[in-house]
Amino acid sequence: MISEPQKFSVAIVDMGMGNLFSIKQACSYVGLDGFLTSSQEEINNADAIILPGMGAFGDAMDTLESLSLVDVLKKSANSKKPILGICLGMQILMTYGTEFGHRAGLNLIEGHVERFQNPSDGGIPLKVPQNGWNRIDKVPGLSDSWKGTILENLPDGMFMYFNHSYYVTPKLSDGIIATTRYGNYKFCSAFQKGNLIGLQCHPERSGKAGITVYRNFIGIIEQYNRTKNNNRI
């Protein structure tokens, strides 16, 4: 009898903002058991976590604090459980944000979040937020295939969907796996440092390329589970 492949559970943290149901549907499409939750217990018991979000940095942190989820997320990160931050979810992984003043983030990745200030392309002003399709470019020195990362099997320069006014600036560059140009700005659009992954683009709105991202997330979760199970032996 052939056994069915394991279906990993993914806690999609409900902060009351973002494309929650689109992310849930993308998880379901690739065979992940994605579920919306703000429960500490459910987040602790999940195989992986997705931090979604579109909105204000401070509002997201206020919600996490009111739900007593800040320590839960930090403990999950320390346990090496995969955590994927999407858009605002990526930004709150940083040390602090600058929206409406200095505001502390989760501080899981050292760095901060800044706003596009008068972006332009050849002297022509660009709109803020950036809203639409843009390229993600491989960082020099990485393998051509982004092998072993959340972007594996995507071509360099792939177009993904963006909708944001702020961008992350990690203190160290060693975790940055992709950058994107928006006029005179070149910013980090993807990082992967151990179990912590951030995407400024929205894979759930990026067609086939986005589905590839979610399939890659399965491989990252599988690796985490193999390591966790080996440590129990």
Tokens of 215: 């399939």
pLDDT-wise least confident of 86-100, 141-155, 205-219? 141-155
Alpha-carbon distance values, 76 to 22, 165, 168, 175 (Å): 24, 28, 22, 19
Q: What confidence tens digit (pLDDT) does each residue in 92-124 have?
A: 999 999 988 889 999 999 999 999 999 999 999
Q: Which of 27, 87, 188, 201 does the annotation list as catalytic?
A: 87
- The yes-or-no answer on residue 202 being catalytic is yes
- The yes-or-no answer on residue 87 being catalytic is yes
pTM here is: 0.95
Average pLDDT, the chain: 93
- The yes-or-no answer on residue 204 being catalytic is yes
What CATH fold (topology level) applies to the domain 9-232?
Answer: Rossmann fold (3.40.50)
Q: Which of 99, 188, 201, 202 does the annotation list as catalytic?
A: 202
